[in-house]
Structure 1
Amino acid sequence: MNKLTRTTDITTFSDIRQNLRTHINRVKKSGRPLFVTKHGKAEVVILSAKEYDSMSAAEFRATRAQIRRGRADVKAGRVKPLDQAFADIRAAVGLSGKKRKAS
C-alpha cells in the first residue's frame, strides 16, 4: 500500500472541533488527506470516501498479485521448509539459532 504523502493540509483537533464541516468539504473537494495533529504530532488522517475506496482497491489488487506470485513459486518449487527459512533469516540478521524461553 502506498504511504500517504504528507501535505500542507494539516490542522489540530481544536480546529477540527470548531470547523468540522469546512474541513470535510475541503477534503471532499480537493481529494487530499487532512492530517489532524495533537500536541504537534499527526494522530489521525481524514480522507474522502472516494480516496479511501481507491486506496483499498489498490491494496486488494496488490495483495491478490502477491498471492498469485506465491502460488507460482509453490508450483515452480521455489520454496523451502519453514525451519530453514527461519534459520536463514536468523543468520541474515546475526541471531543465534537458540530459541528463547517464553515469558
Structure 2
Amino acid sequence: MNMKVTTALSVMSLMLSGCGTVNTVLRDDLAATRELRKQKTYCQSIPRVYSGVAFDFCLLNAQPDFTGVLVPAVLVDIVASGAVDTILLPYTIYRQSTYGNIGIYWQARRS
C-alpha cells in the first residue's frame, strides 16, 4: 500500500514538473525560457495568457531529435494546462498587461 502511494506521488510530481502552466506561471520567466531553450524550440516568445498551452505548443515546435519530449505526454498536458490556464486567467491577464510576453530569445546554433 505504501509503495503504491509513493509511486503515485512520484508520477504526479513528474507530470507537474513538465506541466506548461507550472513552468510559465508558478516559476520565474528564466526557468520557462531555460526549459524551452533546452528543447531547442523555434518559438521567439509566448504570451502569458494561456501560457501553459503556448509552452506545450512550443515544445511540439522544437527541433526533432530522439532525446526530446514525448508527444503523447505533451498532448495530454495541453488539455490539463488549458484547464488550469482558464482558472488562472484573471492573474495571467494582469501579468500580460503589466509585463508583456515571455521572451525566449533562442539563439541559432552556429555552424
Task: Tell me the TM-score normalised to structure 1 length.
Answer: 0.23
Greater percentage in strand: 1
Give 1 or 2 for the bigger CA radius of gyration: 1
Greater percentage in helix: 2
Task: Tell me the TM-score normalised to structure 2 length.
Answer: 0.22
